Amino acid sequence: MTHEHGHEHRDLRHESLTRAFRWAIGLNAAFVVVEFVAGLVYDSMGLLSDAGHNLSDVAGLLLALLAYRLSRVRTTPHYTYGYRKSTVLISLLNSVILLVAVGMIVAESIGRMIHPAPVAGGAVAWTAGIGVFVNGFTAWLFLKDKNRDLNVKGAYLHMAADALVSVGVLVSGLVILRTGWTIVDPIVALVVAAAIVASVWSLTRDSLRLSLDGVPAGIDIGRIVETMQRDPGVAAVHHVHVWAISTTENALTAHVVLLDVAGMEAVKVRLKAALRDSAITHATLEFEAVDCTCSDRGE
């Protein structure tokens, strides 16, 4: 009865999160269209750059939803880890596209600073005001689950930060409306572009590292080896490799030298529990006796 209730709870949570992602993606995609059209109609680089930023939100939300859905897909004989690695590749592609878009925003903003153009401050303000609501509401959708799943937490933090960016665009619209200082519009566009680069640069760096099977951010191999060697049944640990299966799961392989081979099973259970606490969800361990020579010595 408890087992069935657990499955029911997970299914309800899955449906709730899927529904939250769909609402978030739909609202933000609609807002991107509204903001882009308003930016063209009212000739506002601030709105166009924020539309680009919000387009990155949609891509990020789609990626988070994809990662969440792929984490539930079963493995196959041809894809023994399922399709989880695709989240890393999509993340890398997304970051490259966004960096190209930022370059276009910066070039256009500099051109507007050299050759100023009139901007409707009121239109900028009310459009950005909608953005504050959309981003704030989207962040609220993920509030209750943000500490249960890293993808959900990332979506929550991204949307909460973007609500603040929309506040900045709103303020620029009000300043233009009251003072007529149209120079504020491209300046805000450059600030928004800088904010995008700051977030996208780390995404690009981390995605590239993970796509090359580098050690995921936040994983300290030295500390993991120390943790494993503290086990009373372990004499030494070597040939340690750590990589990401997906944007949320890490794997490890290692050779473990045992003081007593008879205690291998107990050591294995303890080590895997310690590794789970160190964010290693998949561990493959090769055990060796103290007096044996490692077959991979030349690695």
Encode pLDDT of 97-120 as tens digits.
777 777 877 887 788 778 776 666
Residue pair 47/38 in contact by the 8 Å Cβ criterion = yes
- pLDDT over 70 percentage in the chain: 87
Higher pLDDT, 49 or 267: 267
pLDDT at 41 over 80: yes
pLDDT at position 9: 47
pLDDT at position 3: 47
Residues in CB range of 15: below 8 A, 6 or more apart: none
Residues in CB range of 1: below 8 A, 6 or more apart: none
Residue pair 165/50 in contact by the 8 Å Cβ criterion = yes
Residue pair 1/38 in contact by the 8 Å Cβ criterion = no
Residue pair 118/43 in contact by the 8 Å Cβ criterion = yes
- pLDDT over 90 percentage in the chain: 21
269-290 mean pLDDT: 92
250, exposed or middle or buried, with CB in 10 Å at 0-12, 13-18, 19+?
buried
Give 163-196 pLDDT, tens digit per residue: 777 777 787 778 877 887 878 877 877 887 787 7
73-84 mean pLDDT: 81
Separation of alpha carbons 274 and 299, rounded Å: 26
Residue 243 main-chain phi, psi, to 5 deg: -150, 170
pLDDT at position 2: 45
pLDDT at position 285: 95
219, exposed or middle or buried, with CB in 10 Å at 0-12, 13-18, 19+?
middle
Strand, helix or coil for residue 71: coil
pLDDT at position 58: 85
Edge-to-edge strands, sheet with 234-244: 234-244, 250-258, 282-289
Separation of alpha carbons 204 and 201, rounded Å: 5
pLDDT at position 7: 47
Mean residue pLDDT across the chain: 80
Higher pLDDT, 246 or 252: 252
Taking Cα atoms as reference points, which of 191, 166, 36 lies closest to residue 106?
191
Give 203-226 pLDDT, tens digit per residue: 778 888 888 889 988 899 999 999
pLDDT at 229 over 80: yes
Torsion of CA 123, 56, 218, 21, to 10 degrees: 100
pLDDT at position 154: 66
Continuous segment of H or E residues that includes residue 289: strand 282-289
